[in-house]
Amino acid sequence: MKKELFRQIPKVDVFLSDKELLEVLGDSPRPLLVKAVRDVLEDLRAGIAAGKVQEVDVDRIREEIKSELKKLLRPKLHRVINATGVVLHTNLGRAPISERVAEHLKEIITGYSNLEYDLEKGKRGLRYRNLEWILKELTGAEDVCVVNNNAGAVLLVLSALAKGKEVIVSRGELIEIGGSFRIPDVMAQSGAILKEVGTTNKTHLRDYESAINENTGLLLKVHTSNYKILGFTESVSTEELVELGRRYGIPVYEDLGSGSFIDVRKLGLSYEPTVQDVLKSGVDVVSFSGDKLLGGAQAGIILGKKEFIEKIKKHPLNRALRIDKMTLAVLEATLVYYLDEEKALKEIPTWRLLSQSPAVIRERAEKLVELLKPRLLDKALLEVVEDESEVGGGALPLQRLPTYCVAVKPLSLSVGELDCRLRSCEVPVIGRIKDERYLLDMRTVFDEELEILANNLFRVLKGSS
Ligand SMILES: *Cc1c(COP(=O)(O)O)cnc(C)c1O
Q: What angle do CA 21, 22, 25 make, to 5 degrees?
A: 90
- Cα(204) to centroid of ligand 1, in Å? 25
Percent of the chain with pLDDT over 90: 88
pTM: 0.93
Q: What average pLDDT score do residues 169-173 get? A: 95
Q: Is the dihedral of CA 179, 181, 183, 187 positive or negative?
A: positive
Residue 348's identity, in one-letter code, is I
From 176, 225, 238, 275, give the residue whose CB has the most ligand 1 atoms within 8 Å, as the site to mutate.
225
Does residue 105 register a pLDDT over 90?
A: yes
| Ligand 1 neighbours by CB, cut-off 6 Å | 149-151, 154, 177, 181, 222-223, 225, 255, 257-258, 289, 300, 394
Does residue 327 register a pLDDT over 60?
A: yes
**pLDDT of 360:** 98
Does residue 350 register a pLDDT over 90?
A: yes
Q: What is the band of 210 on the pLDDT scale with cuts at 50, 70, 90?
A: very high
Q: What average pLDDT score do residues 11-25 get? A: 96
Does residue 265 register a pLDDT over 80?
A: yes
Q: Which of these, 151, 393, 133, lies nearest to 287 by C-alpha position? A: 151
- Cα(293) to centroid of ligand 1, in Å? 11
Closest residue by Cα to atom 6, ligand 1, is 150
**What digits encode the pLDDT tens for the residues 395-433?**
777 789 999 999 999 999 999 999 999 999 999 999 999
Q: Taking the CA atoms of the chain, what radius of gyration do you get in angstroms? A: 27
Phi and psi torsions of 298, nearest 5°: -55, 120
- Cα(278) to centroid of ligand 1, in Å? 16
327, 297 in Cβ contact below 8 A? yes
Q: What average pLDDT score do residues 340-350 get? A: 97
Does residue 13 register a pLDDT over 60?
A: yes
Does residue 319 register a pLDDT over 70?
A: yes
Does residue 226 register a pLDDT over 80?
A: no
What angle separates helix 415-423 from helix 450-462, to the nearest 10 degrees? 130
Percent of the chain with pLDDT over 70: 99
- Cα(51) to centroid of ligand 1, in Å? 51
Mean predicted lDDT score pLDDT of the chain: 95
Q: Which of these, 337, 291, 427, 261, lies nearest to 104 by C-alpha position? A: 337
**pLDDT of 214:** 97
Beta bridge partners of 429: 81
Q: Domain 99-347 belongs to what topology?
A: Aspartate Aminotransferase; domain 2 (3.40.640)
Between 140 and 226, name the one with better pLDDT.
Answer: 140
Q: What average pLDDT score do residues 268-295 get? A: 95
21, 62 in Cβ contact below 8 A? yes
Q: What average pLDDT score do residues 194-222 get? A: 96
Phi and psi torsions of 427, nearest 5°: -105, 95
Chain centroid to Cα 217, Å, comes to: 32
- Cα(363) to centroid of ligand 1, in Å? 34
Does residue 465 register a pLDDT over 80?
A: no
**pLDDT of 1:** 79
Does residue 367 register a pLDDT over 80?
A: yes
131, 139 in Cβ contact below 8 A? no
What is d(CA 157, CA 303) in angstroms, rounded to the nearest whole number?
11
**pLDDT of 464:** 64
Q: Which of these, 193, 364, 393, 365, lies nearest to 289 by C-alpha position? A: 393
What is d(CA 347, CA 283) in angstroms, rounded to the nearest whole number?
30
Ligand 1 atom nearest residue 223's Cα:
13
Parse the chain into domains and list their residue ranges: 2-69, 81-90+354-462, 99-347
**pLDDT of 176:** 87
DSSP 296: S
What is d(CA 1, CA 58) in angstroms, rounded to the nearest whole number?
18
- Alpha-carbon distance values, 380 to 288, 338, 417, 427, 436 (Å): 44, 44, 13, 21, 13
Q: In CATH, what class is 81-90+354-462?
A: alpha beta
- Cα(221) to centroid of ligand 1, in Å? 13
Residue 212's identity, in one-letter code, is I
81, 440 in Cβ contact below 8 A? no
Closest residue by Cα to atom 15, ligand 1, is 257
What is d(CA 426, CA 293) in angstroms, rounded to the nearest whole number?
29
Q: What average pLDDT score do residues 312-341 get? A: 97
